[in-house]
Chain A
Amino acid sequence: MDLLRNAPFVCVLLPLIAGIFCAVLPRRGAKLLCFLTVLVLTAANAFSFLRFFSGAGPFTYPMGHFPGPWGNELRSGLLESAMAMCLCVTAFLSLWAGSSKAGVHIPRGKQGLYYSVVCLAAASVNALIYTNDLFTGYVFIEISTIAAGALILSRQDGLCLSGCARYLVMNLVGSGLCLMGIAMLYGQTGHLNIDSLRLSLAPLAESSPLPVSVRTVIVLLTVGLGIKSGLFPFHSWIPDAYSYSTPASGALLSSFISKGYIFLLIKVVVRVFGLDMIRASGVCPVIFAFGAAGIIMGSVSATRQTDIRRMVAFSSVAQIGYIYMGIGMCTRESLIAALFHMAVHSFAKSMLFSSAASLIASSGDRAQMESLAGSGRRNAPAGVAFTAGAMSLTGVPLLGGFLSKIYLSQAAIAVDTFHAVAVLLTLALSTFLQTVYFLHTVVNIYRPADKNVHAEKQSVLSGAALCVMTLLNILLGTASVPLYRALASGFMQF
């Protein structure tokens, strides 16, 4: 038997086991084990990606002795492994870049627990990507909510406490809606396994209009997962939750955990209902409009922030908007563009959060824009990384963000004139707004420095991590055609 077939199972089980050990190991041991686990996950996902890339077909993996509708299953294919690989790489780099700060922000005795929670988050995101069962999906949604809550709470700070409370409340609303949607779907079909769900929903695809019960389920699942990933009108928890915790947590939340929810949503859209049924249900224009509104409103809010971390967090709202705009167009090309943008955003945003944290550290721990003046000169790797991330998300050529904007526009032009005009206008306006706030910040961090600032000694480790992140982002912009092709052909087999 091919050993690599076990990769998805290992990706879910290994971090769960490692998490238990992290909780009891001493501080350094826990850190080492957690890093090693995430590295092994990255390697396992990369190997299974290569296996699919060289032509192996997707398969389902029974989680026990019972196949199909009775037993629990995982499904692995080119798309799943590509996405899991990208997300694991960003998770590893975020942890690496944030590890020195995490050592300061988290009380010494609690650091083992922190790394245990990171393992939990890694397990749940991998499970969300690989699961072939909706109820397993729900359970891991909740596990990642708990893990995310603990990640925010890791810093003993009033802002983190209140941010975590708001995060948990909104996220529990989202997971409640998901649970209700899944329960209703089970009531209608008698299945939770995604392949069986698809088979039993298939006869409904011809019925027009779509039954209200199915529409309700689609709305519940979309809104639930939309709330959890921070879609525009439900984004109010994002800035507080992402900004104030230790930088590794902020980077993990925005680039790792929230992507798991979006991937599950895409899985529900594509594999459970199918694009035709989603189009017939009438949710697409709503998702599209919310996505577009999120891009504009997130960017407008970001221009008004004086705290660099909040600015980066609001830019997340805008970037999530791009992904949802792609989902809202509901064609193959637009969903592939959305998936590609997920990868781009998670690489760029983890870098932005980490480099912003380093810039803050080299400005006497003050996050306000005016106190950051000259920090890019004091901390060169962080300055370069921040500039690269900002340029990528603004859409400067040779960086990932440019490509995903191109793919998104191409997908929109292929849909119809209305979508093309709407997407191009939104892209133009948001690019303008992003240029305003990112250019403002980048100019600011390279202003002549105030000599009297107490700059923290730069950690070599996080500097190295930021360099690797910058390289990967440039690679994503210049040599990502194979990745895009892999996502596209993985999507066709999805």
Chain B
Amino acid sequence: MASIFRGHLYEAAAMILFAVGLTTLLLHRNMIKKIIGMNIMDTSVYLFLASMGYIRGRSAPILEDGAISAENYVNPIPAGLVLTGIVVSVSVTALLLALTVRLYKRYHTLDIDQIVLLARKGDG
């Protein structure tokens, strides 16, 4: 068991965080905690990607001192993916937070189960 973690610490941590985030997003009843869960889940994927792109002993892919050889640099593509992913998750978070504000204004609760019940009761 321990051998899985050795050398793959970041990946293992990312998977655990992903599971934590996914469970929170799926099972928690509080909307804010769901949003937190979603962010943990997305961030864990970024950790996973960033750890894949990092190569020990190499520097950021910015041209310095005329060193053009790719051997000197870490892989920049995962960083690009992470950036894109961050933009996406920020916009989704904004949408969810706006929705939560609206839900709270109408129902005075953040509990999704109660909200669904109240909506069904037909105060719509």
Contact = CB atoms under 8 A, between A and B. Distances in A.
Interface residues of B, number: 37
Contacts of B85: 179
Contact of B112 (A142, A143, A145, A166): A166
Contacts of A165: 31, 99-100, 103, 112, 115
Given A169-B26, A172-B25, A173-B26, A146 B92 contact: yes
B106 interface: yes
Contacts of B74: none
Interface residues of A, number: 35
Contact of A168 (B41, B95, B120): B95
A168 B96 contact: yes
Contacts of B119: 158-159, 161-163
Nearest to A158: B124
Interface string A166-203: 10110011001101100110110000100000000000
A157 B115 CA distance: 13
Contact of B25 (A157, A161, A176, A179): A176
Nearest to B38: A172
Interface centre among A143, A169, A172 (most CB of B within 10 A): A172
B123 interface: yes
B99 A176 contact: no
A435 B12 CA distance: 51
A314 interface: no
A244 B120 CA distance: 11
B88 interface: yes
Contacts of A240: 116
A153 interface: yes
A437 to B, nearest CB: 21
Given A169-B25, A176-B45, A139 B88 contact: yes
B103 A162 contact: yes
Contacts of A162: 103, 112, 115-116, 118-119
A470 to B, nearest CB: 31
A158 B45 contact: no
Given A135-B81, A166-B116, A183-B49, A161 B102 contact: yes
Nearest to B121: A158
Given A142-B92, A176-B42, A183-B49, A161 B103 contact: yes
A112 interface: no
Interface in A222-249: 240, 244
Question: Helix, strand, loop or mixed for chain B's interface?
Answer: helix
A251 interface: no
A135 B38 CA distance: 19
A186 B78 contact: yes
B22 A183 contact: no
A149 interface: yes
Interface in B70-86: 78, 81, 84-85
A330 interface: no
Contacts of A183: 45, 48-49, 52, 81
A179 B112 contact: no
Nearest to A145: B92
Interface in B94-119: 95-96, 99-100, 102-103, 106-107, 112, 115-116, 118-119
A64 to B, nearest CB: 14
Contacts of B118: 158, 162
B91 interface: yes
A476 B42 CA distance: 42
Contact of B52 (A139, A153, A187): A187
Given A172-B25, A187-B48, A180 B18 contact: yes
Nearest to A70: B77
A46 interface: no
A150 interface: yes
Contacts of A139: 84, 88
Interface of A: 135, 138-139, 142-143, 145-146, 149-150, 153, 157-166, 168-169, 172-173, 176-177, 179-180, 183-184, 186-187, 192, 240, 244
12 contacts: A142-B91, A146-B95, A149-B95, A150-B95, A153-B99, A157-B124, A172-B92, A173-B22, A176-B22, A176-B41, A179-B85, A187-B48
Q: Which 3 A-B pairs have the closest CB atoms?
A: A158-B124, A162-B119, A158-B119
Given A163-B119, A180-B45, 11 more contacts: A139-B88, A145-B92, A149-B99, A159-B120, A159-B124, A165-B115, A184-B48, A186-B49, A186-B52, A186-B78, A187-B49
